[in-house]
Structure 1
Amino acid sequence: MTSRNTSWNAKPFLLAPAGKDYLWGGNRLKEEFSKEVDLSPLAETWECSTHPDGLSVVATGEHEGKTLRQVLQENPEYLGTHPHTKGELPILIKLIDAKRDLSVQVHPDDEYAQKYENGSLGKTEMWYVLDAAKDAKLIYGFHHPIEKNVLKKSLEEGTVEKLLQKVSIEKDDVFYIKAGTVHAIGAGALIAEIQESSNLTYRMYDYNRLDKSGKKRELHIEKALEVADLSGSLQPKQPLRVLRYRRGFASELLCRCKYFQVERILLNTECCRTMANFQTEENSFQVLLCVDGCGILFDDMGGKIPFFKGDCIFIPACSVPLKIHGKAQVLKIGC
């Protein structure tokens, strides 16, 4: 581990998520990830969020019971000095259970959102596929370039599906969804999503479904047409991934962009019976999302956080030195 200034004494803490009961969701987040959220279906859990539409709550440590938003407002040093934070948590991390197809949708970029959506961030996101049914697919852009008036007519006539590019997905796939890309998660997919801290979604097409009150969900076709990339999209290719081995664990980079960086850590200290040093970042917070297995995160002040599949841990930028032990797969997210 790197040497630390004595003022670096903040401890990591476990987060409890906010939940969403969108009509396309299932129950896998409860059954497989032990999410104790009183919603059915449970479509999404917002694991690490300061967005007002779904606030995470601190579940352990000195800040227990406070929202993550409140804790970061009171302790801005937890975010670090990375220029992208700008005093706010710039990311939002979700688990998504798509029992049915999500709507065909698109998100604006930062420039459009700041101009037309009260200064909000846009929404670029990354998906890591935790599990996928044999025939699971996602929608990613269009087969060929398309004119705006043609797309609008196809949306009005309900024929847009024939224009959309569908991509088969498998467990462990990674997809980068840039703002402006028309997309949808298909039925049978279980996804970890890392995105900008935004809840701007322009719904283009929703299969004429009815919500709980028997009404069709709102569409945002005019805004969607303004921000959508109408050029034809190449089939997304899986990024080159290289495992780097260290004593007790291996890691690989899944995605790096201007908004976030995501690594996958394969922890197995049971084979060497020693705790692994966990390298924190001096200029950025880190978030650990356990997607399989279990372990324990230790700090040099005698504290420890046991974690299990589905747990999410926030690590302040000014964290005390840490060690980790167990057998687990963990996504490590930061700026």
Structure 2
Amino acid sequence: MKGRLPGLYPLRLTALAKPLVFGGQAIARHLGKTGLPQWSIAETWECSDVSGAVATVQEGPLAGRSLRQVVADRPEELMGPGWSGTRFPVLTKFIDASGALPVHLHADDEAARRLEGQPNGKTEAWHILDAAPGATALCGVREGVTAHELRTALEAQESDRVLRRLPVRAGRTVHVPGGTPHSFGPATLVHEIEQTSDIQQHAMRWNMEDGSPVGDEEFAANLDMLMRQVDLASRPEFTPGLRIAAGDGVERVFLTASRHFALERWTAGTAEPLRHAFATAQILTNVGAPVRVRSGAWSGEPGRAETVLLPAVLGEVEVTGPADVLLGYLPGLDRDVRAPLLAAGYALPVIRSLTAGAPSTRDGGGERDQAAG
């Protein structure tokens, strides 16, 4: 019975490692994540409630329980008062693009329901953790390119004729709405936050699982579906984020925010700890050295590239520095994003830059307006 379940506490979750062909060793060697297989790893799914890849609680009274079970048993304690749902709504990953990802896109919410039979699409954001000098990403269709021109170029595997190639730098973030054709790599390491979904349509003649060729019939069918889902108007831009001083030697950077998710990066020195109050579940991902974390009655030391899910009911977290952590969450935009940024002196047009250049023309008014307007 629900009344007999143990109270919620910070949840360490299992992370799924995916050995796709574009991967390498950067998640282990650069980020320092342990426990990975010896072969090349393209992605680790740090907090996942995607069917077939649902994370499991690793320790404490709820050990062995799936994230989906926790959502079902304690939705408001996990996500905040008034929330209801059947799946944890946010997915986070590390992605090692040692090689280039295939050109692909994910359906937006409307296309996912209409064409894929799924409850939601997959808008995402990439926060660049490391990139080689000269690294680039393909993101969005060039202005003026028609659907026919796009299809013709993708058939010929000439993506640069029709897609925008953007410079990539560590510390930058780009919000990528569903329907946006994209790719990044090689030599790029990313933390990705997105809607809980694994739908995608590819425009490549090889499979990313093993590099095997895609036959003509399958390739044509893939392009057919991609063209039904593409948003020709989506042209995202990388942004540096919006910074707030949050204490002596403590900095809070808002990296991206929309109705689907928000992502912040917090750093702290040793003068005082990072302290943050919250009203919705926080996915705390450590991208620096091991740190001491306290939330509620729990304390622990997340190691390098480890993730801990902080339930909403805990309400606060303290991280002892030196610290460099990411906090991903499903925001109440007025409460969690606009209010602190307005209080810090940012104007609404500047706050809109968190998703600038990334409007969705089919998801009800645009991601920029949902984020800040």
Provide TM-score, normalisation by structure 2. Answer: 0.79
Query: Matched residues in 2 for 1:153 and 1:277: separation?
Result: 53
Change (3 A) 1:131 1:326: same
Q: Any conservation in 1 of the 2:19–2:209 contact (CA below 8 Å)? A: no
> Structure 2 stretches of 5 or more lacking a match?
1-5, 331-373
**1:271 matched to which residue of 2?**
271
Aligned partner of 1:250 in structure 2 is 251
Partner AA of 2:226 in structure 1 = A
CA distance in 2, matches of 1:83, 1:237: 34
How far off is 1:109 after superposition? 0.8
Deviation at 1:199, TM superposition (A): 0.3
Deviation (angstroms), 1:121: 1.5
Tell me the secondary structure at the aligned position of residue 224 of structure 2: helix
> Structure 1: 5+ residue runs without aligned partners?
1-7
1:261-320 alpha-carbon deviations (Å, 9 max, x no partner): 11111122x234xx4433132xx211101111221112443x311112201010111126
Q: What SS class does the counterpart of residue 304 from structure 1 fall into?
A: strand
> What are the equivalent positions in structure 2 for 1:273-292 lying under 5 Å apart?
275-281=273-279, 284-292=280-288
Q: Is the 8 A contact 1:279 1:322 kept in 2?
A: yes
In structure 1, C-alpha distance between the alignment counterparts of 2:249 and 2:90, rounded to whole Å:
29
Query: What are the residue-to-residue correspondences of 1:142-161 with 2, within 5 Å?
Result: 142-161=141-160
Contact 2:21–2:211 (CA under 8 A) maintained in structure 1: no
| 3-state SS of 2:260 partner | coil
| Aligned partner of residue 114 in structure 1, secondary structure | helix
Q: Distance in 1 between matches of 2:277 and 2:230?
A: 39
Partner residue, 1:3? none
Equivalent residues of 1:204, 1:224 under 8 A apart = yes
Tell me if the contact between 1:288 and 1:330 (Cα under 8 Å) persists in the aligned partners. yes
Q: What amino acid maps onto 1:271 in structure 2?
A: A
CA drift at 1:201 = 0.9
Matched with 2:230 is: 228
Partner residue in 2 for 1:5? none
* TM-fit CA distance, 1:231: 3.7
Q: Which residue identity does 2:261 align to in structure 1?
A: F
> Measured at CA, do residues 152 and 276 of structure 1 come closer, stay the same or move farther in structure 2, by a change above 3 Å?
closer
Asked if residue 294 in structure 1 is aligned to residue 290 in structure 2, the reply is yes
Kept in 2, the 8 Å contact 1:15–1:59? The answer is: yes
Cα drift, residue 19 of structure 1: 1.2
Match of 2:76, SS state, is helix
Deviates more, 1:246-255 or 1:324-333: 246-255
* Greater CA drift, 99-108 or 60-69: 60-69
How far 1:240 sits from its partner (Å)? 4.9
Q: Is the 8 A contact 1:139 1:186 kept in 2?
A: no
Distance in structure 2 (CA, Å) of the matches to 1:240 and 1:38: 34
What is the CA-CA distance between 1:232 and the residue it aligns to?
7.5
Call closer, same or farther: CA 1:114–1:125 in 2, change over 3 Å.
same
Tell me if the contact between 2:242 and 2:254 (Cα under 8 Å) persists in the aligned partners. yes
Q: Secondary structure at the match of 2:117?
A: coil
Alpha-carbon distance between aligned partners in 1 of 2:316 and 2:65, rounded to the nearest angstrom: 24
More helix by share: 2
Would you say how many aligned residue pairs link Structure 1 and Structure 2?
321
Counterparts of residues 113-128 of structure 1 (less than 5 Å): 113-128=112-127
> What's the secondary structure of 2:213's corresponding residue?
coil
The range that moved more, 315-324 or 76-85, is 76-85
Structure 2 Cα separation of the partners of residues 256 and 289 of structure 1 = 17
Match of 1:18 in 2: 16
The alignment yields a C-alpha RMSD, in angstroms, of 2.5
Q: Work out whether 1:308 is the aligned partner of 2:300.
A: no
Give the Cα–Cα distance (whole angstroms) in 2 for the partners of residues 316 and 277 of structure 1. 16
> 1:307 is aligned with what amino acid?
P
Structure 1 stretches of at least 4 aligned residues deviating more than 3 Å after TM superposition: 81-85, 208-219, 275-278
Distance 2:150 2:274 in 1: 53
Q: Deviations over 1:147-184 (max 9, x none)?
A: 22222222222333322211111110110101111111
**Aligned 8 A contact 1:143 1:232 in 2:** no
1:132 aligns with 2:147: no
Instruction: Kindly indicate which of the two structures has a greater share of residues assigned to strand.
Output: 1
TM-score by length of 1: 0.87
Distance 2:46 2:157 in 1: 35
- Select the residue among 324, 332, 347 that pairs with 1:329: 324
Three-state SS of the structure 2 residue aligned to 1:69 is: helix
User: Aligned pair in 2 of structure 1 residues 77, 145: CA closer, same or farther (>3 Å)?
Assistant: same
> 2: distance between equivalents of 1:119 and 1:98?
27
Aligned residue number for residue 213 of structure 2: 215
Using CA pairs under 8 Å that are at least 6 residues apart, name the structure with larger relative contact order, 1 or 2.
Answer: 1
